[in-house]
């Protein structure tokens, strides 16, 4: 097969489209995004020779999912990213229809990428290959022949997205898969040498205890452990993206979901004993396919795709680009609850500071800004209250606490984004509400009460929509600190 055209088409597309992309006022300032075209799942998230490496699904040709490359960026601080040459292209016989998602691991001072190669024949029949690529310098990758070909008995060819880790001198990989009964599952493999893999078995999934029907495919599984900072207990966490869950009230309102279970992984059975409900990682409109890594400081960092599969009708398409990644977040378990916290490095991009303090009844201006960080603390309330961000003509993003329902609501219905429905989460009886909010040119990320809940949503306001307002149906005390973005 001649794959010379794959790289040539990529480079041609970037040259043709980059200028138009760069002129779009919705381009993000401090979120990782593709140079042109579409990006989606974060891949190969790792730290190698002192630098953070983040790869991502990338289609440089169009704003759709018809081609899958691995874009590659590196950073010293998880915020300022330098684009490197494309790491993996669909230019081998075992990845000709897409280099699908996977993970990264450092072994003997080499960076290993473990990914899925996708192949379809002329009739559309799929073959899936779990493959490796190895780098000594973090930029040039040698690709190896597939290490796992297709699926074990009882499953379809939908097997992908390997997440790899090391334990007690052995390597393990959890992979998303679909059973022949069209049930989403997660399976476990092991290896002594990272190249030859043994199928161990199914560890979790739909219609496996204690779950009933739980989607027709599980994508992007992840497994890790965290120490509860209050109890000292080490807890196991299995994250996955089940496709096919029906909405249940305020839950599962995106097309596809991303969440986690607490439990315990038994490597011998094997089995992940689930001890909690499935909990969505993010309550916003745009969050999927997250991936975690442990950095040299011992932090468990998570990054997600700020988008959802099969939702490509965003207004940036006309400007030849689509989607971005979320801000990196640190994961912590505190008294049995998983928290997501903005990484400490976020403080390094704080610029000019302004404040707003007082008691509000009605609606009042509380500043201006288009790209900023805000900390808002509310107290002494007995009715509905909230914030309006990026306000202007036909533009407004509303964060509201419904006092009667005890729910926090994110409403982005006024803007050019297609999904106008609000997203909500139940907070219960609270005496104060703390919000840490990051606003970029086309996104908002809201960390609620120390990161106990998070909303991530793309927003597409008018160019000059820069108003910030506080509103309340009754009296509310508020304290706001806001920092302009500083590169």
Q: Which residues belong to the active site?
A: 41
Residue 92 token pair: 């081998």
Q: Round to whole Å and give the CA distance between 163 and 265.
A: 15
Contacts of 297 (CB under 8 A, 6+ apart): none
Q: Does residue 15 sit in helix, strand or coil?
A: helix
**Residue 318: exposed, middle, or buried by beta-carbon count in 10 A (0-12, 13-18, 19+)?**
exposed
SS3 string, 183-241, reads CEEEEEEEECCCCCEEEEEEEEECCCCCCCCCCCEEEEEEEEEEECCCCCCEEEEEEEE
Residue 470 token pair: 């506080």
Nearest to 10 by CA among 83, 74, 102: 83
Say which DSSP state 324 is in.
B
H/E segment holding residue 364 = strand 350-368
Rounded-to-10 torsion of CA 112, 116, 120, 121: 50
**Residue 26: exposed, middle, or buried by beta-carbon count in 10 A (0-12, 13-18, 19+)?**
buried
Contacts of 19 (CB under 8 A, 6+ apart): none
Nearest to 100 by CA among 120, 82, 79, 77: 120
SS3 string, 134-159, reads EECCCCCCEECCCCEECCCCCEEEEE
Residue 431 token pair: 């005496």
Handedness of CA 41, 43, 49, 50 (dihedral sign): positive
Contacts of 239 (CB under 8 A, 6+ apart): 220, 221, 222, 223, 258, 259, 260, 281, 290, 292
Is there a contact between 306 and 299 (Cβ–Cβ < 8 Å)? no
Angle at 271 between CA 268 and CA 274, to 5 degrees: 140
């Amino acid at each position: 097969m001649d794959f010379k055209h794959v790289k040539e088409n990529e480079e041609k597309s970037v040259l043709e489209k980059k200028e138009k992309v760069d002129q779009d006022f919705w381009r993000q300032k401090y979120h990782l995004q593709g140079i042109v075209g579409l990006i989606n799942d974060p891949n190969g998230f790792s730290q190698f020779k002192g630098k953070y490496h983040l790869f991502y699904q990338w289609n440089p040709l169009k704003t759709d999912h018809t081609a899958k490359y691995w874009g590659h960026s590196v950073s010293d601080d998880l915020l300022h990213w330098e684009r490197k040459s494309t790491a993996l292209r669909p230019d081998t016989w075992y990845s000709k229809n897409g280099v699908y998602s996977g993970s990264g691991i450092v072994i003997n001072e080499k960076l290993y990428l473990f990914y899925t190669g996708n192949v379809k024949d002329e009739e559309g029949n799929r073959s899936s290959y779990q493959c490796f690529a190895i780098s000594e310098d973090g930029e040039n990758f040698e690709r190896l022949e597939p290490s796992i070909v297709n699926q074990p008995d009882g499953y379809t060819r939908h097997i992908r997205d390997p997440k790899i880790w090391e334990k007690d001198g052995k390597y393990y990989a959890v992979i998303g898969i679909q059973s022949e009964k069209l049930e989403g599952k997660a399976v476990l493999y092991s290896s002594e040498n990272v190249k030859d893999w043994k199928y161990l078995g199914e560890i979790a999934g739909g219609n496996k205890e204690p779950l009933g029907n739980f989607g027709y495919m599980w994508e992007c599984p992840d497994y890790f452990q965290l120490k509860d900072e209050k109890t000292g207990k080490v807890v196991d966490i299995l994250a996955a993206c089940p496709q096919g869950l029906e909405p249940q009230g305020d839950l599962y309102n995106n097309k596809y979901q991303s969440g986690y279970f607490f439990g315990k992984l038994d490597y011998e059975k094997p089995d992940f004993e689930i001890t909690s409900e499935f909990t969505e990682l993010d309550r916003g409109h745009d969050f999927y396919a997250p991936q975690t890594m442990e950095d040299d400081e011992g932090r468990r960092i998570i990054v997600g795709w700020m988008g959802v599969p099969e939702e490509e009708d965003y207004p940036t398409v006309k400007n030849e680009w689509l989607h971005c990644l979320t801000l990196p977040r640190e994961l912590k378990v505190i008294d049995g609850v998983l928290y997501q916290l903005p990484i400490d490095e976020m403080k390094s991009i704080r610029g000019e500071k302004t404040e707003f303090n007082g008691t509000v009844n009605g609606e009042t201006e509380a500043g201006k800004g288009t790209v900023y960080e805000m900390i808002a603390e509310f107290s002494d309330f007995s009715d509905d209250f909230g914030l309006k961000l990026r306000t202007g003509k036909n533009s407004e993003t509303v964060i509201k606490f419904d006092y009667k329902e005890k729910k926090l609501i994110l409403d982005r219905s006024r803007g050019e984004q297609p999904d106008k429905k609000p997203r909500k989460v139940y907070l219960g009886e609270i005496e104060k509400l703390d919000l840490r909010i990051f606003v970029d040119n086309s996104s908002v990320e809201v960390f609620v009460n120390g990161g106990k809940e998070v909303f991530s949503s793309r927003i597409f306001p008018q160019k000059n929509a820069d108003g910030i307002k506080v509103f309340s149906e009754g009296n509310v005390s508020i304290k706001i600190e806001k920092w302009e973005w500083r590169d």
